[in-house]
Structure 1
Amino acid sequence: MTTPRTSPPPAAADSPSRGTAPLLSVRDVTRTFPGKRGRTAPVRAVDGVSFDVAAGETLGLVGESGCGKSTTGRMIVRLLEPTSGSITFDGRDISHLGQRELHPLRRHLQMVFQDPHASLNPRQTVARIIAEPLLAQGGSAVDARRRAADLMELVGLIPEHLDRYPHEFSGGQAQRIGIARALATGPRLVIADEPVSALDVSVQAQIVNLMARLQRELGLAYLFIAHDLSVVKRVCNRVAVMYLGRIVEIGPKERVYAAPAHPYTRALLSAVPLPDPVAERARERLTLLGDPPNPAAPPPGCTFHPRCPKAQDRCRTEAPVLSGAERSGAGHRVACHFPETV
């Protein structure tokens, strides 16, 4: 395996370009899963999520396991149907398009999955795996194989290994194959669902550097779904924090990391280890109370109030909405009645 060039991610953008329509626009999207045969209540996994992704930028979507991050990503690529709301890609509402209408758009909208080996068909060769999206779009077998060889080299693998099977590759190599497959049709937006969480730390750095290089060279936009805030800080321009199906804070990376306004965001960041042992011992660590509520029976008002150290009576009855946090800077919004202002 060849080692990809180490390079910094693209310069951060405070927000999608003003005056330019975003590449992806998600508005008030919800997804409710029905209960099991009447024995359990329906679960609203995603509850009114809204955000934009501009061409060429990376938006990080972070939060605890079960908060609805992956469900959001799967709705964007239409592996799941939204219950309500709209998803607009490149100016076209794709929320409820049929498969025939959606088919030509899929070449511009691809996904990289969390578990590289689980997402690759063990019965197919690497050549077939990478070429399959091109064949599905009507490409010839000869051109598809040639494109697969080029993509293997692009992601740092040896083209001569095209006829091997997924089990013959390490986890990092398998994820490179997954990235190559996502790039086969020349997409404009890639949904990366926990793309490095199943990999060793050293391999994570290689994949992160690879994705940053590909973004710069190919002009890709990413929705980067993760729970590791140190990785998100490395690759993303903006960050959206989810809790129990809702976005509770969104803004430029520099603002969210330097001055988080929501108590949940502050708690997440306090759990990220610092490389300086002295600073790590000296800093205050915020500990949340209890576990996340049952999404089938969310608490009234602000869903975070049972775990929030700042909760007051208003939080228990009135759900906050995303709004500009005082002194937070342009594009930084928080859903909290009593946000931090410094």
Structure 2
Amino acid sequence: MNGTAPQPLLSVRDLRMHFPGRRARSAPVRAVDGVSFDVAAGETLGLVGESGCGKSTTGRMIVRLLEPTSGTIAYEGQDISRLSRRELRPVRKDLQMVFQDPHSSLNPRQTVARVIADPLLAHGSSESAARTRAAELMDLVGLIPEHMDRYPHEFSGGQAQRIGIARALALDPKLVVADEPVSALDVSVQAQIVNLMERLQKELGLAYLFIAHDLSVVKRVCDRVAVMYLGRVVEIGAKERVYAAPAHPYTQALLSAVPLPDPAAERTRERITLLGDPPSPAAPPPGCAFHPRCGRAQAVCRTEAPVLRAVATGERREVACHFPGAEPAASRMGG
């Protein structure tokens, strides 16, 4: 019996996206600055962090809506990061995306049938076959197929997101990048969409890259969690370990802001409040990017950038911190 680990469905290594500065000769904006992670077949990896940390940019590079500055994106062992549009065409069927705002991501001039059928038509399906498949997909995501000839504005936000999910599933993908798929929806509707995505994953064997800032939703749907700060992954590991014993001070601060279901525990627990705002990705600080806001920063943190390494021997969790796991100092981080 071969003891080697199976090849991941998706493998991202040292991925970077640097946008030109707004002015001539100004420093580039390092939106993503060396991200690495794997996604296994059928797995859900959550990608979390503050707004502007590079989560959505990472997701868009993976499906090649943005061209990476450098790094590799390997799908089933093939580097797709530099494929031409023609070479990428067969792979696009396996990599699809669900966007944050359901209405703005749907063409308002097209009927729902056409919105869902467009990917099929682009890959050679006939009009009749594409329409039949669109009706099947509407039923699969909990919509009435008889409403296929309506327009997106005639649907609620939750229904519109179901349409976006149906479109993403049209070509039978293996990996779906879900970019904040429930953040624009009401709380009650969020639960319905999360339930739908979980059911579809079980039925279709999907893998998800689930991009979100709501850590309670991530805890519900994800197998592993990757925490991003200023364009880099600072902690990654199994959901249970990251939530139970966060090792990076930034992860600790994020989790301390998640409300607890027990009111008594919520009143008595210590909340970590980070001082200051995240640095600009156009001028990141030297050393560890988090050190200006960190209560345990020491001299090495200001000069040497930490790399992801295992928290403990044998534990499949990595953290980019020179002093992982220590309690944050209340004098710097608040209480």
* TM-score w.r.t. length of structure 1: 0.93
1:206-234 CA distances to partner (integer Å, 9 max, x unpaired)? 00000000000000000000000000000
Structure 1 contact 326–341 (Cα < 8 Å) conserved: no
- Out of 257, 277, 281, the position equivalent to 2:243 is 257
Give the distance between the partners of 2:311 and 2:284, measured in 1 at CA.
25
Structure 2 counterpart of 1:150, one-letter code: E
- Out of 65, 89, 97, the position equivalent to 1:111 is 97
The aligned residue for residue 333 of structure 2 is none
Matched, 1:134 2:110: no
Give the distance between the partners of 2:128 and 2:4, measured in 1 at CA.
43
The aligned residue for residue 205 of structure 2 is 219
User: How many correspondences in the alignment?
Assistant: 325
Matched, 1:339 2:324: yes
Give the distance between the partners of 2:173 and 2:98, measured in 1 at CA.
12
The aligned residue for residue 285 of structure 1 is 271
The aligned residue for residue 3 of structure 1 is none
The aligned residue for residue 255 of structure 2 is 269
The Cα of 1:330 is off from its aligned counterpart by 2.1
Change (3 A) 1:18 1:114: farther
Runs of 4+ in 1 over 4 A off after TM superposition: none
The Cα of 1:91 is off from its aligned counterpart by 1.5
Give the distance between the partners of 1:106 and 1:318, measured in 2 at CA.
39
The aligned residue for residue 5 of structure 2 is 19
Structure 1 counterpart of 2:187, one-letter code: V
Matched, 1:29 2:29: no
The aligned residue for residue 330 of structure 1 is 315
When structure 1 is superposed on structure 2, of 40-49 and 173-182 the one drifting more is 40-49
1:90-140 CA distances to partner (integer Å, 9 max, x unpaired)? 121100110001111111110000000000000000000000000000011
Structure 1 contact 325–341 (Cα < 8 Å) conserved: no
Matched, 1:88 2:74: yes
The Cα of 1:41 is off from its aligned counterpart by 2.2
Give the distance between the partners of 2:132 and 2:47, measured in 1 at CA.
35
- Out of 223, 231, 244, the position equivalent to 2:230 is 244
Structure 1 counterpart of 2:92, one-letter code: R
Structure 1 contact 153–159 (Cα < 8 Å) conserved: yes
The aligned residue for residue 232 of structure 1 is 218
The aligned residue for residue 198 of structure 1 is 184
Higher relative contact order (CA 8 A, sep 6+): 1
The aligned residue for residue 293 of structure 2 is 307
Give the distance between the partners of 1:123 and 1:324, measured in 2 at CA.
51
Structure 2 counterpart of 1:295, one-letter code: P
- Out of 125, 146, 149, the position equivalent to 1:160 is 146
The Cα of 1:313 is off from its aligned counterpart by 1.0
Give the distance between the partners of 2:111 and 2:217, measured in 1 at CA.
31
Structure 2 counterpart of 1:119, one-letter code: S
Q: Give the gaps of 5 or more residues in structure 2.
A: 328-335
The Cα of 1:236 is off from its aligned counterpart by 0.2
Matched, 1:320 2:311: no
Structure 2 counterpart of 1:73, one-letter code: G
The Cα of 1:164 is off from its aligned counterpart by 0.2
- Out of 145, 149, 157, the position equivalent to 1:171 is 157
Matched, 1:97 2:83: yes
Give the distance between the partners of 2:141 and 2:219, measured in 1 at CA.
22
* TM-score w.r.t. length of structure 2: 0.95
The aligned residue for residue 331 of structure 2 is none
Structure 1 counterpart of 2:325, one-letter code: E
% of aligned pairs identical? 79
